[in-house]
Amino acid sequence: MELFLQTLVDGLLIGGLIIVIGVGFSLCFGVMHIIDFAVGEWVMLGAYTAFWMVRYLGRDPFLYLPVIFFLYLAIGYLIYPLIHRAVSGRRHNPALMGLVFTFGLASLIKGGALTAWGFHVRSVTTWLSGESLALGVAVVPALRFAGFAFGVLATVAFMLFLKWSKIGVAIRAMAQDRVMAELLGVDTNRVSALVYAMYTGLTGMAGVLIGALFSIHAGMGLKYTTFAFFVVVLAGMGYVPGVIPAAFLLGLLQSFVTVYVSGRYTLLAVFFVLYLTLLVRPRGLLGRGW
């Protein structure tokens, strides 16, 4: 029973963190129809940035969360025009060209990180590392809880932004009809760049938490790419609210399979669920994707 509860808590906590990656990714897909193969690499870069900032500037990595958000916001904003070029113009299959482009981007980022920072495994320590709270019989690691809380808060803030702000409404409108939004005065290229930038910013921030929780190395991205893909398919491609249940499902699936079956089958279980979803509910668990 104790183990069951602990497993439940572990799963939910990780799910909360995955939401952050999923939300940006799903939005990016929903609005611009871009599947970013580099999603895991943004996580990795965020983690590394936190590591180097702590190395050179000291202090706690959590302090740098806003800095990293804005840093990756800026980077995403600057990169977007290239992606835009890849997916527009007279290309044979624009959406797929975007996929290939980000595929190349992922390889580029990963290779760059490997070359610059090598194969060393780094880690950062925060003031929460190693601390934990007791929740009944289960232990809640403080850092994970912080990650979870951050994930949920960031997502709620983000959803509120989408629901109520002017840009938020414009983003949702654009997801439905880009041309019409443009006719109403929305600079759709800039808003797209902004969406992409928010996505990279959020993902970079998630990277800080993930880096603090696990260890940091150049190859760490792959796993989060898997997660992001899994989450958007399960949520329904482009259906942002679906990300929340999907991410929790993924977290729980991981922890329960690891504890009650075997850690070796965790990823397989994930892939199996992904396959089943594509087979029976291709538009996501809630049937709301496109």
Partner 1 sequence: MLVLEEVSAAYDGVQVLYDISLRLEQGEIVCVIGANGAGKTTILRTISGLLAPIAGRIWFENTRIDRLPPHAIARRGIAHVPEGRRIFDQLTVEENLRMGAFLLQDWHQVREAFDHVYQIFPILFQRRGQRAGTLSGGEQQMLAIARGLMSNPKLLLLDEPSLGLAPKVIDMLFEVILNLNRLGRTILLVEQNASRALEIAHRAYVLEVGRVTLSGPARELQENEYVRRAYLGM
Partner 2 sequence: MAVPLFVSSFWLRIATEVLMWAGLAQSWNIIGGYTGYLSFGHGAFFGIGAYTTAILMVHAGWPFWPTLPVGAVLSVLCAATIGIPTLRLRGAYFAIATWAFGEAVRQVATVLEITGGAFGMQLPPFLNLPFFYEAILIATILTYLLAYLLLERSMFGYKLRAIRENEIAAETAGVDTVVTKIEAFALSAIPAAIFGGLYAYLITYIHPDSVLGPAITDLMVVMVLFGGVGTLWGPLVGATAIQLVNRLLWFLRGESTLYLVYAGVAICLVVLFMPDGLMGLVERRRVLFRPRENLKALLRQFKL
Partner 3 sequence: TGAAPARDFFKVGVVTSLSGELAFGGNVTKRGYDMWADTVNQLGGIEIAGKRYRVQLIYADDQSTPATAAVAGERLITQEQVDFILGPYASGTTLALAPITEKYKVPHITGSAESPLIWQRKFKYTFGTIPPVSINAQAPIQTLAQDVSPKPQTIAILGIDDPFSKFAAEAFRTAAQKFGIKVVRYEIVPEGSDYTPAVSAAKAQNPDIFAIGSHEKAAIEMIKAAKELKFNPKAFVQHYGMTTPDFRKGLGKDAEYVFGASVWTANLNYKATILFTTPKEYAEKFKAKFGTEPDYTEAASTAAGIAFQEALRQIKATPPLDQAEKDALVAALEKLNIMTFYGPVKFATSGDYYHSNAGLQPIALQYQGGKLVEVGPGKLALAKPRYPTPPWDRR
Q: How far apart are CA 38 and CA 34, in angstroms?
A: 11
Q: Count of residues binding partner 3 (CB under 8 A)?
A: 40
Residue closest to 125 by CA, chosen among 199, 51, 74: 51
What residues does 138 pair with on adjacent strands? 135
Q: Is residue 5 a contact partner of residue 138, using CB atoms and an 8 Å limit?
A: yes
Which tokens in the block code for residue 287? 């049937």
**Helix, strand counts (H, E) of the chain:** 11, 2
Q: Does 223 bind partner 3 (CB under 8 A)?
A: yes
Residue 97 interacts with, from partner 3, partner 1, partner 2, none (CB under 5-8 Å by kind)? partner 2
Residues whose CB falls within 8 Å of the CB of residue 145, separated by 6 or more in sequence, listed in order = 13, 133
Closer CB to partner 3, 196 or 224, in the complex: 224
Q: Does 209 bind partner 3 (CB under 8 A)?
A: no
Residue 177 interacts with, from partner 1, partner 3, partner 2, none (CB under 5-8 Å by kind)? partner 1
Residue closest to 204 by CA, chosen among 34, 29, 16, 45: 45
In the complex, least distance from residue 44 CB atom to partner 3, rounded to whole angstroms: 12
The binder of partner 1 chosen from 1, 116, 134, 179 (CB under 8 A): 179
Residue 104 interacts with, from partner 3, partner 1, partner 2, none (CB under 5-8 Å by kind)? partner 2
Residues whose CB falls within 8 Å of the CB of residue 15, separated by 6 or more in sequence, listed in order = 148, 247, 248, 249, 250, 251, 252
Closer CB to partner 3, 7 or 192, in the complex: 7
The binder of partner 3 chosen from 95, 108, 121, 276 (CB under 8 A): 121
The binder of partner 1 chosen from 4, 118, 160, 177 (CB under 8 A): 177
Closer CB to partner 2, 94 or 168, in the complex: 94
CA dihedral 40, 17, 117, 80 (to 10 degrees): 50
Q: Is residue 216 a contact partner of residue 126, using CB atoms and an 8 Å limit?
A: no
The binder of partner 1 chosen from 82, 157, 184, 261 (CB under 8 A): 184
Q: Does 142 bind partner 3 (CB under 8 A)?
A: yes
The binder of partner 3 chosen from 66, 219, 282, 287 (CB under 8 A): 219
Q: How far apart are CA 259 and CA 271, in angstroms?
A: 18
Q: Does 181 bind partner 1 (CB under 8 A)?
A: yes
In the complex, least distance from residue 14 CB atom to partner 1, rounded to whole angstroms: 31
Residues 58-97 that bind partner 3 (CB under 8 A): none
* Contacts with partner 1, residue ranges (CB under 8 A): 166, 169-170, 172-173, 176-177, 179-189
